[in-house]
Amino acid sequence: MLMSKPLIGLTTSPMFNTGRLPAFGINKLYARSISAAGGLPLLIPLHLSGDDLDALFPHLDGFLLTGGGDIDPRLYGNPPHPSVQGLSVERDRLEIHLVQAFIQAGKPFLGVCRGCQVINVALGGSLYEHLPEQFPSTVIHDNHHHPRNFLAHQVSIIHGTRLADILAVATADVNSLHHQGVRKLAEELSATAHAPDGLIEAFELPAYPFGLAVQWHPEELQEYAPMRNLFRQFVLACQTTAG
Instruction: Say which CATH number the domain at 170 has.
Output: 3.40.50.880
The rounded percent of the chain whose pLDDT value lies above 70 is 98
3-state secondary structure of 54: helix
Q: Give the domain extent around 99.
A: 7-242
User: What is this structure's pTM?
Assistant: 0.96
Per-residue model confidence as pLDDT tens digits over 207-237: 999 999 999 999 999 999 999 999 999 999 9
Digit-coded pLDDT (tens) for 168-200: 999 999 999 999 999 999 999 999 999 999 999
Q: What are phi and psi of 135, to 5 degrees?
A: -145, 65
Number of domains in the chain: 1
Catalytic residue annotation: 113, 217, 219
Strand order in the sheet with 40-44: 40-44, 7-11, 62-65, 109-112, 211-214, 200-204, 190-194, 153-157, 171-174
pLDDT for position 156: 98
pLDDT digits (tens, 9 = 90+) for 52-92: 999 999 999 999 999 999 999 999 999 989 999 999 999 99
pLDDT at 1 over 50: no
Residue 1 lies in a domain: no
Q: State mean pLDDT over 14-38.
A: 92
**Confidence check: pLDDT of 3 > 70:** no
Residue 154 in any domain: the answer is: yes
